[in-house]
Every structure is written in C-alpha cells, then in structure tokens.
Chains A and B, each alone.
Chain A
Amino acid sequence: MDSDISTGFTTDQSFDAFEDDGYDDLDTNSVVSVVAEEPLSYEVPYTSLSHEQLKQRFVSSVNQIQNLCGLSHEVAELLLIHNKFNIEWLGERYLDNPARTLQSIGLDLKYADYSFAPRLLPAPPNFLCAICCDDATYPVTFALPCGHRYCASCFKTYLRMRVSEGDIRLNCCLNSECRFPITDSVYKLLLSPSDYNRYRDQLIKLYVNCLPYLKWCIYPDCTYAVECKVNQADLDHIIPTVECNDGHKFCFGCSNEEHAPCICRLFAKWNKKCADDSETANWINVHTKGCPKCQATIEKNGGCNHMLCRKCGHEWCWVCSGPWSEHGTAYYNCSRYDEKSGQEARDQQAKSKASLERYLHYYNRYANHLESARLDKKLYLRTQKKMTDLQNSTSMTWIEVQYLANASDVLQHCRRTLMWTYAFAFYLERNNNTHIFENNQQDLELAVEKLSEMFERNTSELATKRLELLDMTSYVSTRRSLLLKDTQLGLLEGRWKYNLSN
C-alpha cells in the first residue's frame, strides 16, 4: 500500500487497509468489490502525489520552459516561480517579448541562458561591507554578476532570514537600487544544507499552492498532495471526493472533509446554519411570546392563559394575545380563538415552529450519524480485538477474519455518507424526486443499522454468521453506491430543486 500513485477508480481501496497486496485474490476481499471494477459515475479521476513526485513535476515544468524558451535551468525556474507556475502563459509571454519577460525578474536579455557558478572571493583591498560596516578583515566576500559586493556573512544572514520568513518568491541583490535576482545556485552556495532543503521545500509548497488543480491533503501533518482537474464552476454538479495515499478522504472542491452526496455549496450552508445561533432565535420564537404592550419576552410554563406581565403589568391572553379584560370570566379557555386580530401572530408562530421542527428532524439524524462517526475509532479498536478473539477461539486464520475489518470500514464510510444525505435533503424541495432520494436514503440507513447490529454480536456468533455478515457488507456498499450514483445523475440532469430560504 505504499505505492505512490493511486487513482480514484477503486472504491475498495479503504477496505484493503489491513491487507498486504499479495492477498488481493482471496475471496474475503472480492466480496466487497463487486461495484469497484470500473469508474463509478460519482467519482472523479485524481492522482495522489508524494513529495518526491511533486519535486519531479516541479523539475519537469522547469525543463519544459527551459526547452521551449531556450533558457538556462536556473533562469527558467525563476521565471516560473515569478509567473505562478503558469507554463502556457509564461511560454506565450516569453516568446512574445523575451526582453520584457526577463526584465520582470530583473535580468537582461544577455542572461537568458546564464548559468552561474557562484564563488566566494577574498576581500579586495580597502573593502568595506556596506551592510555591517565592520572594519575587521573579511574572510570572504560575495557578489552577484551585477558586481555589488558584500561580505559573505551578511549575504548569508540575509538569505537565511528571507527563507525563514518564507519570503522566497523573488529575492534580489542587497543593493537597494539593484534588482539582480538570486538564483538557485546562489541559495545552494550560501545557505546551510538544512536551510537550502527548507528553501526547496518552500518552493514545492508554493508550487502546489499556485496551481488550481493541485491541493495539499487537508489532514494535519500529511505530506501528500492530490491532483484533480475539476473546475470550480462545476462544483454544483460534481462532488470531487479524493483520497491521498495515506488513506485520508476529503473534498477537493472545498478542501473539507468528505461530504458526498451533499454538494459543496450546501455543505457550507449547512455548516454555517449548525454553527450559528439562528436556531436559538427560533426556539425563542416558538416557546415564548412578547408581551403585547412592552414586548418583554415571556415564556409560559404552565398555569392558565391569563398572563400578567411582570415588567409592565399588562394583563393579556396567551392564546389570542388580546387584552384579558375582553375575556370576562372565562378562565382557562379563550373563546376568542378565531378572532382575526390574533390570527396573524399565530400563523407566524406556527410557521417558525414548523421550520424549527423540520430543521431538528434533519439535524437530529445528521448529528446521530456524526456521533457514530465520532465513535469510529472505538469501533475500529473493538474490531481489532474481535479479530484477535476470533483467531484464538476458532480455527480461522488472520486472513480469514479480515472480513470484520472490511465490515467496520464500510460501516464507518456509510455513516458519513448518511450524515450528509440529511444535510442535502434539508435543502431539497418537496417533490417526487426528493421522495426517491429519501427512499434511497432510507434503504441505506436500514441496511447500515442492520449491519451495525450484526456487528455488535458476540464473538462466537460472529464466527458462525460469517457469510451473513459478508453478504450484508456487500449489500450495504451496493446501497451506498446506488444512492451516490443516483444523486450524481440527478446533479448532472439538474433534477434536484433546492429550497435555500431555510
């Protein structure tokens, strides 16, 4: 599993997590990979790239420009950095006007194929470094081809500081009037090996950050990047879920956790809704009323409908919001219920109550799966223990108990999918298409719960029900696949209608 390139066309990759590649042909594995043979409609092609591969890409881009424009490697690299690694644009620009393009990085046309072999030299007679003004003897000095000579130690300190601040785009000669650029060979000569490596790493970082089709894996400390050619404009009907070679799944479109089948835009909207306080406001709307006279917020917590505002002393009816004086002696019930004056207030209240209930319906289910996803790790650990137990208590071998790991993986993955189906469904308009979506969702949910239940069984039972569990695992992933396929098709057809007022 350490190979450096993985393509997005295999869904069963995560299930391989516990296996060596050599065992792929065993039946334990083939059961869950029924749907994984060819590209699935809801998956986008992508490539996971290691640091080493990124370096190679970087160098080959430089070579490309070098050959196209007849530049030296160093100059080509500098131009590429300065032009945000946009090869096509730079190529055109250079062929159109080489002098001006080179001018933009402070070079003359005569330096186009300039290869610098920088050297440290002893100080010339009467030399005084304008930076440190130290009259002591200077062991070595340095100057770029522009001839502005400074002591080597000042030059080194300067470069080290630029690199440590991550300021590497275009550094020039120390002279404030001079724009002669500092090229790779100079960095190499003047920086310590570790600082030079740091500089090269920063270049790779810049390279990935500049190119829209490359992104770093979003997981902390993960060093992989992913290449995926998906347009920002297409994100309304494509959900580019990718996986780096370390097994981290994320959305390439918005650099967030995996959220299929919910599209990026709704994902952001849902997260914002869950994070902000709008539902608190909604609760206040539903469970309290403002005093009709002074607007103080009042919660009715029992008792009769005869409200006495503590703040202003106004007496009013909870039911119709009218003054109590009109109610005569009919305590505990309001005969004026259908009176028009109170109707509008009640309608408004009913509306926000319905809206809150609707939100809570989706949120509770979403949160339930979120919580289950949080228990992922526990489940995973339990699985491992069960696998060991099974190996000890039955004649099953290590390979044979792997079906539990697969089941656990599928379960976790499906819960994540389910979670986002609820966020997606929250924004869907009520119509037949939505109904179909919800049927698919329900089927998946039922299957997931069933699998989850089977999983909870004790070890001895697990051993006897191995085939059943295998079948269920396969069924669950098929259901997930169907749901995602249909949602994707719907996105492409524009079948889903959103209600974004919520």
Chain B
Amino acid sequence: MSFPKRIIKEAERIVSDPVPGIIAKPHEDNLRFFDVIIDGPEGSPFEGGHFKLELFLPEEYPMMAPKVRFLTKVYHPNIDKVGRICLDVLKNNWSPALQIRTVLLSIQSLLESPNPDDPLANDVAEAWKEDSSKAIATAKEWTNKYAK
C-alpha cells in the first residue's frame, strides 16, 4: 500500500519527535490508523489517567479532518458515551494546514478545560453546570476506574 508523502512524514515525525504526554503509534500495515494514548493533564480531574484513542486519516485527508474517538470511558461534557469528541477543529474549523499533532494537542487541552456550554453528552454537561465540584469528583472516579 502506498501513502501520500504528507502522511508518511507526519507518521515519522510523531514517532521520532513525540508531543509530551501523547503517544501516537501508526499501525504497521496501515499508516492511516494510529493508536493513541493521551495522559490526563496535570491539575485536571483526568490527571494520572492514560486515555486510549483511535485516530484514522480518511481518504480525503488533509482536505478533511482526521477521525478521532476515545476508546477509554471519559466523564466529560464534550465526549459522549461511545467516545465521539465535540471539537471545532475536527469539524467546521478544520484546515488542511493542521496536523495530527495539533489535533491531539487540542484534544489534550479539551481535557484540561471542558466546555459544558457546547455539550455533546447532555447529561454530563447538565451535571457539570449544576454542581461542578460533584461532576469533577465523578470525572476523577471514572479516571481511576477506567483509565489506569
């Protein structure tokens, strides 16, 4: 299977020069598939957790955004039950100049600063708005239970 230069370059770079707290490993047989592990940012309720994600570069990449999904359960207003992520750069604000590493960095910072005003998981967002300290406690609990 042959891959566009851009994908080969990005894959090489993300392995040789990884972003701190993020490991992305391309599948050996298909460079469009990445197994990703993002460490929960310090000071966030996700601290100490290692979150597994899968990332796929569609045929149209980089004209279209990569498809990214959490495999580990996360209690977060912008991540739903099946791991789908509500993030502007993955949708409307995608630009072909963005890369895998910038997308993963955005996801990491989304963990750091949840946005309950633009929710994907409505129940979590409600809980977050009503009683944020309780929601944060639940997020911590989930991190301990599922992400360690």
Contacts and interface: CB of A to CB of B under 8 A. Distances in A.
Given A157-B63, A161-B60, A161-B63, A174 B95 contact: yes
A134 interface: yes
A126 interface: no
B62 A131 contact: yes
A175 interface: yes
Interface stretch (B32-40, B43-51, B78-86, B96-104): B96-104
Contact of B5 (A135, A157, A158): A135
Contacts of B62: 131-132
A154 B9 contact: no
Contacts of B102: 176
Contact of A154 (B89, B96, B98): B96
B6 interface: yes
A131 B61 CA distance: 10
Interface in B41-87: 60, 62-64
B20 interface: no
Nearest to A132: B6
A274 interface: no
Nearest to B10: A133
Contact of A130 (B4, B93, B97): B97
B113 to A, nearest CB: 19
Given A157-B63, A158-B63, A131 B5 contact: no
A135 B8 CA distance: 12
B64 A174 contact: no
Contacts of B96: 131, 154, 158, 174
A134 B98 contact: no
A175 B6 CA distance: 16
Contact of A133 (B9, B60, B89): B9
A19 to B, nearest CB: 53
Interface in A94-129: none
Identify the interface centre among B60, B64, B96: most chain A CB within 10 Å of its CB. Answer: B96
Given A158-B63, A161-B64, A176-B102, A132 B95 contact: no
A133 B6 contact: yes
Range class of the A interface residue count: 10 to 19
Interface in A396-451: none
B7 to A, nearest CB: 9
Most chain B C-beta atoms within 10 Å of own C-beta, residue among A133, A135, A154 = A133
Interface residues of B, number: 16
Given A131-B62, A157-B63, A161-B63, A175 B95 contact: yes
Contacts of B63: 157-158, 161
Contacts of A154: 96
A176 B95 contact: yes
Interface in A122-179: 130-135, 148, 154, 157-158, 161, 174-176
A134 B98 CA distance: 16
A161 to B, nearest CB: 5
A132 B5 contact: yes
A179 to B, nearest CB: 10
A175 B102 CA distance: 13
Given A131-B62, A157-B63, A161-B64, A175 B5 contact: no
B6 A131 contact: yes
A134 B64 contact: no
Contacts of B93: 176
A176 B98 CA distance: 6
B58 to A, nearest CB: 11
B104 to A, nearest CB: 14
A39 B116 CA distance: 56
A154 B96 CA distance: 9
Interface string B2-24: 00111001100000000000000
A131 B9 CA distance: 11
Contact of B97 (A135, A157, A161, A174): A174
Contacts of A174: 95-97
A176 B6 CA distance: 17
Nearest to A136: B5
A176 B64 CA distance: 13
Contacts of A175: 95, 97
Nearest to B7: A133
Nearest to A157: B63
Nearest to A135: B5
Contacts of B64: 161
A131 B6 CA distance: 7
A412 B10 CA distance: 67
Contacts of A161: 60, 63-64
A157 B95 CA distance: 13
List of 8 A-B pairs having minimum Cβ-Cβ separation, nearest first: A176-B95, A133-B6, A133-B5, A176-B97, A176-B98, A131-B96, A133-B9, A161-B63
7 contacts: A130-B97, A131-B6, A132-B62, A133-B6, A157-B63, A175-B95, A176-B95
Given A148-B97, A174-B96, 16 more contacts: A130-B97, A131-B96, A132-B6, A133-B4, A134-B4, A154-B96, A157-B63, A158-B96, A161-B63, A174-B95, A174-B97, A175-B95, A175-B97, A176-B89, A176-B93, A176-B97
Interface of A: 130-135, 148, 154, 157-158, 161, 174-176
